[in-house]
A and B are shown apart, each in its own frame.
Chain A
Amino acid sequence: MTARLARSVSGAAASKVARRERPAFGGEATTSCVECVTARGIRRPGRLRRSTATASDGMCLGAPMFKKLLEPRVRFAALFALLSATLFSLYFFPYAENGGSEVWLTLYLEKYTALVGAVLGIVEPHVVVSRTQILGRFSMSIVRSCDGMEANMLFCAALLAMPGVWWRKALALCAGLVALMAFNVLRLCCLYYVGVYFPAQFDFAHYDLWPLLIIAFAVLDFLVCVRWLQEGSAHARPPAEPAHVAA
């Protein structure tokens, strides 16, 4: 009956009717919210099943505010902002200088420097790595955010905020992070050679060119991962039933 009403009367009138059909307090709603039907303008069988929202919840799940909040893009934006804020706060929090977090961070940066030194060492055998410094024809120091962590964190937050199968998401996250790390190692090696051959352009490459490239790469990485995630969801979903045609 609700669905018929939704098709025949205007949204406001229909919502009034739906409200009348709902029990006043406590009981389970016996019909889906008419606004869900009228707002979309089309009857969807999945939407018209018996609603699990109770009147004691105070508001139907399909009420405009919740509908807006549950909109995929709003949910994605909110989740992305929340995850980014958390990750950035964890990484950039001003920890005590001699605290455990700083020790871990320094250890991580030393390992990162060793990795960059090892890659550079393939073509530059005289490069020496000392803690977080690379000493060779040009000397570089790897400090916080030289590891491209901002791009990594944005990528993680964006991917985790996407809907998808968890194992595919985890796989995409690992592969994407490895790709980002490889790109950042390439950036640092490139900066070494810019420092060797074009020292006057080092600041431009360091602060203007490569940051833009690494963010662009993170976006590309994210898009590739999302495409792969969506392909997985498409395979997992059963094919839509064709409309029945009268024989």
Chain B
Amino acid sequence: MSPHRRATLFAAARFLAVLMVLAAPWPGLGRAYVAAYGGVATVIANPILASSGVELALAPSAEDDAKHEWFAMVSVLDAQTHARQHKMATDLRRAGYLQMALYLAAAAAYPLRDRVRFLVVVTAGLALFAAFGWLPIMMYLAKKQIIALGSWSLSLLSVVYRSLVTPPGMAFAVPGLLWLAARTFLEKPSLPTAGRKIPAPSVSIV
């Protein structure tokens, strides 16, 4: 087997292994993720939403509801009275988690040589995919007119949400494309080209 083919097979094996570990239905993982995501998200969102007079609360689904383990119950509360005004549920596995799992699997399979650059790219990608969880919530808040968006902004948000989160295939395509772009444009060349000698063309004048 050629070294190139062996390297490709190893990369594919690493990709599948990391993906299977991250995407496997581990008991309690969904609730833990939703709880952690909710904690961070509310800390970020509530100061922004303060001007609208509302607060957000993200909580995992009920303990006995095994089917909706990855669903976050989003409550819109009145900032003064803490009375619940609206409630929705969103699947955080499809809106962010799967994309992150794919991205990490791709990063593990084909890492960048420069470690600092690798860490920066992975962190930035994970932050981007974590923001995907906000798309359905933003859509809901905009539809309920809790946040004021113009018709164009709402259309744009809708297109982004429908394109990136709704189709199941995009959960796999977007992280792959992003990592491919990172590899293509940020990876350093394997050999230094500056000092490489270029052979002169063997042209003789007859």
Contacts and interface: CB of A to CB of B under 8 A. Distances in A.
A155 to B, nearest CB: 10
A212 to B, nearest CB: 5
B201 A243 contact: yes
State which size class the interface on B falls in. 20 to 34
B49 interface: no
B206 interface: yes
B172 A94 contact: no
Interface stretch (A14-22, A46-54, A115-123, A145-153): A145-153
B173 A154 contact: yes
B169 interface: yes
Contacts of B158: 92-94
Among B155, B158, B170, the most chain A Cβ lie within 10 Å of the Cβ of: B170
Contact of B163 (A88, A148, A243): A88
B167 A150 contact: yes
Nearest to B206: A246
A88 B202 CA distance: 51
Interface residues of A, number: 30
Contacts of A145: 162, 166-169
B181 interface: yes
B168 A246 contact: no
Contacts of B201: 243
Contacts of A218: 173
B204 A88 contact: no
Contacts of B185: 73-74, 77
Interface in A202-247: 206-208, 210-212, 214-215, 218, 243-247
Among B169, B185, B206, the most chain A Cβ lie within 10 Å of the Cβ of: B169
Contacts of A244: 203-206
Contacts of B170: 150
Nearest to B194: A41
Nearest to B184: A73
Contacts of B176: 215
Interface in A109-158: 145, 148-151, 154
Contacts of A8: none
Interface in B143-189: 154-155, 158-159, 162-163, 166-173, 176, 181, 184-185
B23 interface: yes
A89 interface: yes
Nearest to A219: B176
A42 interface: yes
A218 B198 CA distance: 39
Nearest to A216: B172
A211 B172 contact: yes
Nearest to A76: B184
A42 B203 CA distance: 14
16 contacts: A89-B159, A92-B159, A92-B163, A93-B158, A93-B159, A94-B154, A94-B162, A145-B162, A149-B167, A150-B173, A154-B173, A208-B98, A208-B168, A211-B171, A215-B176, A243-B202
Interface of B: 23, 94, 98, 154-155, 158-159, 162-163, 166-173, 176, 181, 184-185, 198, 201-206
Interface of A: 41-42, 73-74, 77, 88-89, 92-94, 145, 148-151, 154, 206-208, 210-212, 214-215, 218, 243-247
Given A94-B159, A150-B173, A212-B172, 9 more contacts: A73-B184, A74-B185, A77-B184, A77-B185, A92-B163, A145-B168, A208-B23, A211-B171, A244-B204
